[in-house]
Structure 1
Amino acid sequence: MRDIILLLIIGWITLQAFRRPWIGILGWTWLSIMNPHQLTWALKTMPFAAAMGGATLIGLFITRDRRDYSQTHESITLMLFMAWMCITLPFSLIWDESFELWKRVMKIDLMILVAIVLLHSKRHVMLLTWVLVISIGFFGVKGGAFTLATGGGYKVWGPENTYIEGNNEVALAIVMVIPLMRFLQLQMTAKWAKTTMTVCMVLMAASALGSHSRGALLAIAAMALVLWWRGKNKVMGAVAMVVIGAALLSMMPAEWWERMGTIKTYERDESAMGRINAWWMAYNVAKSNFFGGGFYIWTGSLFAIYAPDPNDTHAAHSIYFMVLGEQGFPGLFLFLTLFTMVWFTAGKLRTKAMAQPQTLWLSQLGSMLQVSLAGYAVGGAFLSLSYWDLPYNLLILAVVGQRWLQRKEWLREKEEPVIYWPEFLKKRFEKKKRAPLLP
């Protein structure tokens, strides 16, 4: 039954993508981030993302909806990064595997550019944010409840056959989505809705801790610091963070504390030293090959040539060293430039959108995007998620928000139901109420 329902939902979204390709973008994002078909029995190998992406691309050229082909600093830099990855591909040290990963990355980046063309309204921004929150929140809230129920004795893992299958990867995804949940909470008016979102955010934090990921702990700390600094009431904010943090940490078992303690004694931890060995290997590859080694260099044969310890083969475990080893120093420069631009664009939204009450929501979005990016910058230093969709979806939100603000869309945009989910349900319920019978 679950498979049939999911098949009907995906089929409906795919058909809608021909006429309303922005719906296809939301569906593509949902499939790419959450991978709901991996939770089914018979649909795991179905090419749903390809079908929805194809329908969206067709819809892009035949739709009558608004499209914006104007370029921004972020979109130009992303295209330069894509072009550089195309240039480096022929120089890959291991061609076959590198070509397969290149195709996957190109598909993701292409759909990011398509999203920038198709999304333009406040409603689009809110819907995309909800898609990201639901896609990761499903695993985070469930993982948080599991962590509380088991006292943190077991690790939280991500969905199989996805970018975030590992405990470290799903933890970073959860950490990055918490600020987006906070943004949505700020748009809510119902007290019960705000309370529900607070509970979900606490469960998300518990899930990140329950992953036993040291990188996630550092990412949470970085995000909490930025969030506290941006808060209006710093005293109450600090008290709330300390109370919630102490409550969550107090329930974690001894083995969790032992693992976190290795952050200070990394030189005696095999996993940490393996990562450092992989980082040196990436640096040596980039130093010896101007175009990098290609998308697939984390193998024993290349470690034997470039790594200080040739017998200790590891994945990159760093967004920075992953790009450095695979795309060389020019690729790393473009990668860092891209997300630095996103950071400053979000900062402009945070400051400039305060001027009008109608744009306050955009100021809050910019602030939370920066908090999320801080988590990605710190947590990503220890994880191989350089090309995953979620950080690039933050880019979409920043670019679309910046365009909306520059064009003063709030002065001419038609009043339409912006998706603040609890209020939406409330309106639907009120419409269905029957008029009282006359005596």
Structure 2
Amino acid sequence: MVKPGPVGARFASPTAVGRVHQLFGFLEPLHVALLSASLAICLYIAVGGRARRFRLVLQTRTTRCVLALACWMVLSIPGALWPGGAFQMFTGEFGKTVVMYLVLAAALRGFLDVERVAFVYLLSAGIYAAVILARFQVGAEQWRLGSLYYYDANEFATLAVMSVPLGVYFMVRPRPLWRRLVSGTAVALLAVGFVWAGSRGGFLALLAVAVFLLVRYRGIHVRWRALTTALLALVFAATTTDTYWEKMSTILQPKDDYNVTGEQGRVKVWKRGLGYMLQHPVLGVGANNFATAEGTISPLARNATAGRGVKWSVAHNSFLQIGAELGVPGLIFFVVMMGSAFGALRAVQRTRLRWAPGERSPPTVQLAQALTAALVGYLVGGFFLSLAYRDLLYTLLALVVALRKSVALAAASVTSSPFRTGPLT
């Protein structure tokens, strides 16, 4: 039987993560993002069910931190350097993101629902990769991608890294075969797109995720981990160029990098961002106001000569983005939110549930480890990018909370869930 609530949640994911309405121009007049979000909310409200306990979602520390961030963002609006920008960030992006986070986390009734939406997350990223590979070109003169649809090349690289662990999970699941084939194709497309992105921060994120998959992803047999790594290495060998490796090698030579030496490089921007947070420790400079701070109150702006412009840089770091824009409390909410998500996934892995014969561990544990790897990818990639308010993170967090909720309900009641505690009989 098809569950309307989870179906609505699956409709929302492609627009939030894969931006399909921006990839295909004929969808823009249809306002697909608004329609899919409205459909998800309406179906969630219309369909009852005790397994979808909204109270249980609100009780999680992750959700409380998400709501605290939203409230703090609202409080920052009146005193923001540019109140209009802060208001627009809340009403135009983050407020909608929080609503969809709540709908996703609450609407997913059980493990299978979480698994399906996780697959849609992967599929959305794979479709995005396929479109940019078809519409953009790289070559000798332009060795990497630049501005894309909604994301830029660096942001897409982080999305690709976050999606690969989900692809690995679905590739090794025993059935259905079509899903395994689609997942393998999506991972291959994401790998090629990742190479074309040419992101050094993304490369570091990929290394971190690869190490996690090889060492910590114990839910699947080591041969599958080694095979997946070998396949990704094969894709890299077939698509990378000498220019790519030359650019990646600069990671080992930071002293010669403009990000370290230049006034507009990341290190100097981070130092100024730390200064904004210390100057405005309670409410920050306002959401979506980091660039405004760079152009108005930064030392560069104060010391700029008449007639010479100043670059209005973004934070290039999700943690400093939050700290500078929402103050120390906002940074605390963000850090606790991320930490609690990892804690929820550890709790899932500690819960004993039944699983099918022949599998190395329960599918809940395997998915929890895949989501952990995805969050690791975000932490490393997001350290070099301004991704603190993006759907690609909060959709993932909703999956984490929904998985924790479904496992808790399954463990608490053996009569209302397909899972049983204890060994198989």
Would the aligned equivalents of 2:161 and 2:377 in 1 still touch at CA under 8 Å?
Answer: yes
Cα displacement string for residues 108-161 of structure 1 (whole angstroms, at most 9, x for unaligned residues): 11221122222222231122112101110112355568999979974346752x
Cα displacement string for residues 381-420 of structure 1 (whole angstroms, at most 9, x for unaligned residues): 01111111122222222222222222227944577xxxxx
Aligned to 1:336: 335
Would the aligned equivalents of 1:278 and 1:307 in 2 still touch at CA under 8 Å?
Answer: no
Counterparts of residues 286-305 of structure 1 (less than 5 Å) = 286-290=277-281, 291-299=283-291, 302-305=294-297
Aligned to 2:307: none
Aligned to 1:252: 240
Letter in 1 for 2:369: S
Alpha carbons of 1:295 and 1:247: their partners in 2 closer, same or farther (altered >3 Å)?
Answer: same
Would the aligned equivalents of 1:323 and 1:386 in 2 still touch at CA under 8 Å?
Answer: yes
Cα displacement string for residues 412-434 of structure 1 (whole angstroms, at most 9, x for unaligned residues): 4577xxxxxxxxxxxxxxxxxxx
Letter in 2 for 1:387: Y
Q: Distance in 2 between matches of 1:106 and 1:184?
A: 31
The answer to whether 1:82 aligns with 2:81 is no
Aligned to 2:194: 208
Q: Distance in 2 between matches of 1:242 and 1:406?
A: 36
Q: 2:87 aligns with which of 96, 99, 112?
A: 99
Counterparts of residues 67-216 of structure 1 (less than 5 Å) = 67-70=52-55, 71-103=59-91, 104-141=93-130, 154-156=143-145, 159-160=148-149, 162=150, 164=151, 166-189=152-175, 194=180, 197-216=183-202
Alpha carbons of 1:305 and 1:243: their partners in 2 closer, same or farther (altered >3 Å)?
Answer: same
Query: Normalized against structure 2, the TM-score is what?
Result: 0.82
Would the aligned equivalents of 1:286 and 1:325 in 2 still touch at CA under 8 Å?
Answer: yes
Bigger mean CA offset, 55-64 vs 97-106: 55-64
Please report how far the alpha carbon of residue 362 of structure 1 lies from its aligned counterpart in structure 2 after TM superposition.
0.3
Three-state SS of the structure 1 residue aligned to 2:155 is helix
Cα displacement string for residues 161-214 of structure 1 (whole angstroms, at most 9, x for unaligned residues): x2x2x0001111011011111122232336676466335423322321220100
Three-state SS of the structure 2 residue aligned to 1:407 is helix
Aligned to 1:423: none
Would the aligned equivalents of 2:344 and 2:404 in 1 still touch at CA under 8 Å?
Answer: yes
Alpha carbons of 1:234 and 1:148: their partners in 2 closer, same or farther (altered >3 Å)?
Answer: farther
Letter in 2 for 1:346: L
Letter in 1 for 2:313: H
Three-state SS of the structure 2 residue aligned to 1:263 is helix
Q: Distance in 1 between matches of 2:176 and 2:103?
A: 35
CA RMSD of aligned residues (A): 3.3
Please report how far the alpha carbon of residue 239 of structure 1 lies from its aligned counterpart in structure 2 after TM superposition.
7.6
Aligned to 2:47: 63
Q: Which runs of 5+ in 2 are unaligned?
A: 305-309, 419-425
Aligned to 1:360: 362
Letter in 1 for 2:31: P
Would the aligned equivalents of 1:227 and 1:371 in 2 still touch at CA under 8 Å?
Answer: yes
Q: 1:277 aligns with which of 262, 268, 276?
A: 268
Would the aligned equivalents of 2:123 and 2:183 in 1 still touch at CA under 8 Å?
Answer: no
Q: 1:389 aligns with which of 383, 391, 399?
A: 391
Letter in 2 for 1:361: P
Alpha carbons of 1:148 and 1:92: their partners in 2 closer, same or farther (altered >3 Å)?
Answer: closer
Would the aligned equivalents of 1:143 and 1:156 in 2 still touch at CA under 8 Å?
Answer: no
Q: Distance in 2 between matches of 1:230 and 1:145?
A: 35
Would the aligned equivalents of 1:317 and 1:381 in 2 still touch at CA under 8 Å?
Answer: yes
Q: Distance in 2 between matches of 1:352 and 1:141?
A: 38
Letter in 2 for 1:174: A
Alpha carbons of 1:45 and 1:94: their partners in 2 closer, same or farther (altered >3 Å)?
Answer: farther
* Sequence identity (%): 22
Letter in 2 for 1:345: A
Q: Distance in 2 between matches of 1:138 and 1:158?
A: 17
Q: 2:6 aligns with which of 19, 22, 40?
A: 22
Q: Distance in 2 between matches of 1:130 and 1:190?
A: 12
Q: Distance in 1 between matches of 2:350 and 2:167?
A: 20
Q: How many residues get paired? A: 395
Q: 2:23 aligns with which of 39, 49, 52?
A: 39
Greater RCO, CA 8 A, separation 6+: 2
Three-state SS of the structure 2 residue aligned to 1:189 is coil
Query: Normalized against structure 1, the TM-score is what?
Result: 0.79
Q: Distance in 2 between matches of 1:247 and 1:42?
A: 33
Q: Which runs of 5+ in 1 are unaligned?
A: 1-15, 416-439
Alpha carbons of 1:407 and 1:42: their partners in 2 closer, same or farther (altered >3 Å)?
Answer: closer
Would the aligned equivalents of 2:314 and 2:386 in 1 still touch at CA under 8 Å?
Answer: yes
Would the aligned equivalents of 1:158 and 1:170 in 2 still touch at CA under 8 Å?
Answer: no
Cα displacement string for residues 273-323 of structure 1 (whole angstroms, at most 9, x for unaligned residues): 422222122111111112101123243664452246864542111111111
Letter in 2 for 1:368: A
Task: Select the structure that is richer in helix.
Answer: 1
Aligned to 1:9: none
